[in-house]
Structure formats: structure tokens, C-alpha cells
A and B are shown apart, each in its own frame.
Chain A
């Protein structure tokens, strides 16, 4: 690897050469995706041999566009958000060479979907309080415990798993991170029905599950450090896409307002305009954030974007129900379903209102995000900690 990483022009050439040799119309999709990975054109910022070329990350969208334009098959990233957004960067950062070679290719091609076994009924915002135990047994670990809020667990082949391996030391020090085989005996997945009636998430019960030590990521006791890296990537992934004006939920309400004059009242008019302004401000903030990233000046504004987005979605969806009046009293369907992805616009206003309540809880509650901004961005004093030097087993639970 003595050559310099390719620039935009070099990447364009490589994509052209690849497409000249691999006709997407004539190949099996999986075969094509594997070849694309092997050519280093999967995630170009990854190292050579692991689906990338060590190129700058911001060149990826152009590569993706070129492949999509040529009719190449998609690796369906929407089906494997945890895998691509969280498991892969963690494996890249902490995995052994063997783990990287084993896991990254089928992860990227979508052959193997991943899920995340982090949160527990007793460990939400305070993830480091988790109690799922892993006990060493020769070259294996025996895992027992319960995980929750696991999306895609029912389709996943692998999970990233954090466990308690030493209850006698303070909580941050006694954790270990593993890759867990979701088809292993003792792994039981149950749908977790939520306030919308459907079940995007699962509870996962782990009973005497045997995990080989070669599936450990990072050192024993280093699980918190590895988890933190995973969660940082989660926030980057939430950074957001470019949206047109009135993209997202405000567009739904604006259209409703235009098409149904009989629903309009002066008070609601004021509310619609206020939220329109806030949605536009949030949109421009997202644009500025992306311009910063492209210019190589990443800032802490990403956490602000998530906080604002959650609040905005909740208020807009609440307003939509008020605007609808009597219709707002009806719901489309309470049937328990297992949606593959969340789509706010395809369901009813009642669904939007209820689903948006999750926005300020999932991926870091708004309260935790405010703590993070206050402490890491503004440099305000941290919370007074009563659990820092106490062994995990002695913490009140």
C-alpha cells in the first residue's frame, strides 16, 4: 500500500473500469456486490482489502450515485443500519484481522444482517449499569441476561453484545464486548409491542448462550470503551440527509393546510407558521452541518440537530391531530405488525403522533443529549456521581 489514496477523479475511473468488467444486468446481485467489495468500492474510506481504498469519506456519495446510475444492485442499507452504521466501524476499530475478514464483507453485501444487544430493562440511559453476565468457560463465555429495544433481532445473523464480566469492580471497568451468533442455542427473540400497536423492536433473552472467546471485540474489561465508540457512530449516523424545503413532517401538515381550508383556525394558523419557521431553521442547520463536514470542519452541532428534530417532530405531529379535529380521533390500524423500516409519511396522523414520541427516547434521550451538550460543548460541570467508585454488585438496582 505504497500508493497515495485515490482522489475523486481516480475513483471515477475505477468505478468505470469496474463497471466495464462487471455488467450488473448479467450478474447475480450478490455476486456483483461481493466483487464491488473486493474492488474496494464498497465503502471507499475503509482500508484496502476490507472493501475500501483508504479514500476520503466524503467521496462515497459520488461512488454510490455512479453505481446506482449504472443499474447496479443495492446492498439495501436500510435493512442493515446497525450493521453498517455501528457494528462495522466498531469491528474496524477494535476487531482482530481475522474478525475483520470474517465479518465485514457479508455485512456490507447485506448477506448478514446485524442487531445490537445493548440496552436492558434496568440499563437505558445508564448503559454502563447493565447486568447481562458473561462467565468464562475455557475458550468460551456463557452468557445469561435480557436485552431490549433490539431492532431487526428477528432477522439478524449477528449481534454486537455488551456484557458484565466482572461485577466486583466499578461498573465502567467490568464490561466486555462480544459478537453474538443470533442462531446460537439459548437466544430467544420476542417482539416488543410499542404504543403504535406494531413491533419494530424486540426483547432478546439469553440463556446459557455459548460465545467463543474468538468473538470477543477488544480486551476483557474494555467493553465500555468499545461501546462508546459504537455509540459515537450512532450519533454520526443520525446526522441526517439533505432534505428539500417542506421535506419531512412539516410538508404533510402544510399540504393538509392548503388542501383543507375548512380546517383552518386563526390559532392553528399561528402554530403552523411557527412550526414552519422552526422546520426551515432545522433544515438549514442540517445543510450547514453537512457543509462543515464536507469542508473538514466537523462540529458538535450533530447532537443539537437530533435534539431539535425530536422536539419538532413531536410538535408537528401533535398539531396535525388538532388540525384534523374529529378525524384526529381515528387511528388506521392497531394490528401487531413487524415493519422492516419506519416510514412516517405512509401511515396515519395518529401513528405519526405516537411514533414521534420515540424520537426523544431512542438513540439517546433528549435529557441525556442536553447533558452531553452542556458538559462537552459548553464545558459545564458534570453531574454529581454516586456510582463512580462503587463495585457494580453493590449499586442500588
Chain B
């Protein structure tokens, strides 16, 4: 039975990561970064790498920390709280999961950011149709909406016969003006780019997508929690009609409901991370439940955050919009809730209408 609590080590890890993010990624810096050309905060990413949290589940003899996806999920919560503009989900989760499944020693040991070149909306439960052809050690084709593609050192590209690694700089990467500018997309074109096959078949891709969706739930949890906290703090101090707006039941009851949903999000996100960590056969169901639930909770938390802040929450100079954009993009990422519910129909035998 999965352990849904946080260990002492995980609690310490969280404190360390939060301290770093509070120091190096305050929201006004994150906001300013969204208007710059650089697709990531490279200095922050380097600090996280130096801390060892970008290769947590990588065995020590492969240059990693020898931890598991459970600890990785705790870091993801903190990344979500800070809407940090670093390729954590894409590089330290999806990329690392693919390389671990492929057991690609060379790339794991290199510590370079390897990012999966698939549309960010890719459904981890459905069959994947490659849009890139492999031949003679090269790749040709195009992939749209690759998250953190511009921040990547290496792209991991699914083709019909397996997963290929290419130097990111060798591909043509066109930045996309993204809804979430803290995790930007790009459209990638491969025109006979030299490539090395790191895994045969689609098992590595499958594992990476499922693991990524499992850990994304923790990122969504962290974001939801931050939105709830900042909203609760705000409604205690905002006075209208001579009393704090947080004394009105119209707001109190919605916040109580949101808190209830966040406590549930914690349980399902921990279950999904735990299943990923132990290779539990329940992983596909755990992921479907976690994504269907946490996507909705994160979006609701961010939407309530905007609404309950009133006018200030609708302005550019308040962080609420950063959370809203991250939350809505994350809900569409790696299978929207509807896709995960559709997957459950098969996984738990609740077939559709004839």
C-alpha cells in the first residue's frame, strides 16, 4: 500500500528547494523573465543542478542522486509553487525518465537537459503517431508545441522504430508565443539532422509520458496550494463595507471547498508519485486519477485566486496571472482531464455507450 505522507528527508529537501526558489525566483523576477527572449532562467537551472535535484532518480553510478520519483515529486511541488521558469518537468522528469528507461549511460552521466520532442498535449495512455522519420542515422520531419524545446541541450525524438537523441542546436526551433511564458513551447523541424537511437520501440516513450503525467500532478498540487494560501492571506486584509472580505460566507465557503479539494489533490498526487517510484502496476490508473483531479483543482485554485483578488488580480503586475496561465496550460499538458477519464474507461472497465 502506497505511503502517502512525506518522509523527513523529503521535508528537508522541500525546505532547501523552497529557500533557493524564494531567493532566486521571486515572482517579480519570474514575471520580468516572461518578457525576455531567454526561454529559461539559466542561472536558476544551474543552481538546481548543483543542488542535485535535477537528477534525483538517476542512480549514483550514473551521476545522479540515487533517490526516487517520490523525492522528485516534492521538488515538482516547489517548482509549481514558484512557477519557476526552468525545464524541470520536461528535463528532470520526462527526459530523465526516458533516459532511465533506455538506460542511456552517456546522456544520463552528461547531466545535459534532454527534452522529449513531442507535442506537450500528448496523451500518455493513447497510441503515439510519430511525425518524424528516421533513416541513415538522421531524422526528418517536424514536431509542434514542444515544451521547453528551446531550453533543451538534447532532444529525444520518437520515430517509428524507437527513440532518437539529437543535438538540440542541430534542429530548427521556432519559438512559440505561449499561453504559459514560464514554460515556453517551440515548433521543431528536423531536416536530415544526425541522430543516435537510444531506445528501440516505444516503451521508453510510454514510461516517460506516464511518469511525467504522474509528477505533473505534484506540480499542480504545489501551484494550487500557493494560490489558496495567497488568496486566504489577501481576503483577510482586504476591507470592503467595513469588514474583511474574507468574513463573507460567499468567499469563505468557496475557500473551504478549495482547501478540501487540495487535501484530496495531495493524496492522489502522492499516490501517483509513489506508484511511479515503485513501478506499481496501478500506475496507469493512479496517473489517470491524479491528472483528472489535480488538473481541475489547479485551474480552479488559480481562477479563484484571480477572482477573489478582484481588480488587482486582473492586472499584469500581480502574480495571479502567472499561476492561471501555468495552471491552464498544465491542464492541457500530457492529456487533458477528459483524455485521462477516457483512459479510465478502459483501465477500470467502464466502457462507453454502444
Contact of B260 (CB < 8 Å), options: A291, A308, A375, A383: A308
* Given A258-B349, A265-B353, A284-B267, A377-B259 contact (CB < 8 Å): yes
- Tier of interface size on chain A: 35 or more
Assess the B4–A291 pair: CB atoms within 8 A: yes
CB interface residues, B 220-279, toward A, < 8 Å: 232, 235-236, 243-244, 246-247, 249, 251-253, 255-257, 259-260, 263-268, 270-271
In the complex, chain B residues whose CB is within 8 Å of the CB of A380: 232, 235-236, 244, 246-247, 251-252, 255
Q: Is B177 an interface residue (CB 8 A)?
A: no
What distance in Å separates the Cβ of B226 from its nearest Cβ neighbour in chain A? 14
CB interface residues, A 52-89, toward B, < 8 Å: none
A-B contact pairs, 29 of them (CB 8 A): A258-B350, A264-B351, A272-B350, A273-B341, A273-B342, A273-B345, A274-B292, A276-B344, A276-B350, A277-B288, A281-B293, A284-B4, A284-B264, A285-B263, A285-B267, A287-B267, A288-B5, A288-B267, A291-B3, A291-B5, A308-B260, A367-B253, A371-B249, A371-B252, A374-B256, A380-B252, A380-B255, A381-B243, A383-B249
A304 to B253, CA, bound (A): 12
User: Is chain B's interface secondary structure helix, strand, loop, or mixed overall?
Assistant: helix
Assess the A370–B341 pair: CB atoms within 8 A: no
A388 to B303, CA, bound (A): 36
Identity of the chain B residue whose Cβ is nearest the Cβ of A253 in the assembled complex = B350
CB interface residues, B 1-17, toward A, < 8 Å: 1, 3-5
A295 to B67, CA, bound (A): 23
Q: Is B310 an interface residue (CB 8 A)?
A: no
Identity of the chain A residue whose Cβ is nearest the Cβ of B262 in the assembled complex = A304
In the complex, chain B residues whose CB is within 8 Å of the CB of A278: 293
* Given A287-B4, A288-B267, A297-B5, A383-B253 contact (CB < 8 Å): no
A265 to B354, CA, bound (A): 8
Q: Is A266 an interface residue (CB 8 A)?
A: yes
Q: Is B348 an interface residue (CB 8 A)?
A: yes
A397 to B159, CA, bound (A): 75
In the complex, chain B residues whose CB is within 8 Å of the CB of A287: 1, 4, 267
A384 to B244, CA, bound (A): 11
* Given A264-B353, A269-B352, A304-B263 contact (CB < 8 Å): yes
A254 to B345, CA, bound (A): 11
Q: Is B334 an interface residue (CB 8 A)?
A: no
A342 to B265, CA, bound (A): 30
A325 to B344, CA, bound (A): 24
Identity of the chain A residue whose Cβ is nearest the Cβ of B5 in the assembled complex = A291
Identity of the chain A residue whose Cβ is nearest the Cβ of B229 in the assembled complex = A378
Assess the A281–B344 pair: CB atoms within 8 A: no
Assess the A295–B253 pair: CB atoms within 8 A: no
Q: Known A-B contacts: A273-B342, A280-B289, A284-B4. Give 16 more (CB < 8 A).
A: A261-B351, A264-B354, A273-B345, A276-B344, A277-B288, A277-B293, A281-B265, A281-B289, A288-B270, A291-B3, A307-B260, A377-B259, A378-B252, A380-B246, A381-B246, A384-B243
CB interface residues, B 135-170, toward A, < 8 Å: none
Identity of the chain A residue whose Cβ is nearest the Cβ of B344 in the assembled complex = A273
* Given A269-B345, A288-B266, A261-B354 contact (CB < 8 Å): yes
In the complex, chain A residues whose CB is within 8 Å of the CB of B249: 367, 370-371, 383
CB interface residues, A 215-256, toward B, < 8 Å: 254
In the complex, chain B residues whose CB is within 8 Å of the CB of A304: 259-260, 263-264
CB interface residues, A 281-327, toward B, < 8 Å: 281-282, 284-285, 287-288, 291-292, 295, 297, 301, 304, 307-308
In the complex, chain A residues whose CB is within 8 Å of the CB of B253: 367, 370-371, 374
Identity of the chain B residue whose Cβ is nearest the Cβ of A294 in the assembled complex = B5
Q: Is A270 an interface residue (CB 8 A)?
A: yes
A301 to B264, CA, bound (A): 9
Q: Which residues of A contact B (CB under 8 A)?
A: 254, 257-258, 261, 264-266, 268-270, 272-274, 276-278, 280-282, 284-285, 287-288, 291-292, 295, 297, 301, 304, 307-308, 367, 369-371, 373-375, 377-384
In the complex, chain B residues whose CB is within 8 Å of the CB of A379: 232, 236
* Given A264-B353, A284-B268, A381-B246, A370-B345 contact (CB < 8 Å): no
Assess the A378–B267 pair: CB atoms within 8 A: no
In the complex, chain B residues whose CB is within 8 Å of the CB of A384: 243, 247
A369 to B260, CA, bound (A): 11
In the complex, chain B residues whose CB is within 8 Å of the CB of A280: 268, 289
What distance in Å separates the Cβ of B50 from its nearest Cβ neighbour in chain A? 32
A268 to B352, CA, bound (A): 9
In the complex, chain B residues whose CB is within 8 Å of the CB of A375: 252
Assess the A264–B266 pair: CB atoms within 8 A: no
A367 to B250, CA, bound (A): 11
